[in-house]
Amino acid sequence: MTQSATERTPLINFSNEQDAAIQERITLRSAQPALQTHSDIYQPSFSKTFWISIGMVFATVLFLGFLWMVFITSVVFGIVMYFTPTA
């Protein structure tokens, strides 16, 4: 014979009335179905995810542009130094 959630023996025995109310809330909460997953609870709007993805693409393009400028600068500097006569 199985016990229902409200008939279960409490895991913690409390002394006064306030603590007993806390115990009752714990018992009732444990009788509820399992908590939803994070994705069920928090689903950002399409607009928010869209602008975040646009921002990430923009940041990636800026970073690659920066790397490209560093590369071009070093190549130009190398060519100039190669053809510069030494004293």
Query: How confident is the model over 19-35, as pLDDT tens digits?
Result: 777 777 777 666 555 55
Position 71 scores a pLDDT of 98
CB neighbours (10 Å) of residue 14? 14
Give the list of residues 6+ apart from residue 3 with CB closer than 8 angstroms, or none. none
Tokens of 80: 């100039």
Length of the chain: 87
CA 62 → CA 34, 51, 66, 71, 74, distances in Å? 45, 16, 6, 14, 18
Position 42 scores a pLDDT of 65
Position 11 scores a pLDDT of 60
Q: What is the pLDDT of residues 55-82, one digit of tens each?
A: 999 999 999 999 999 999 999 999 999 9
The type of residue at 31 is: A
Position 58 scores a pLDDT of 97
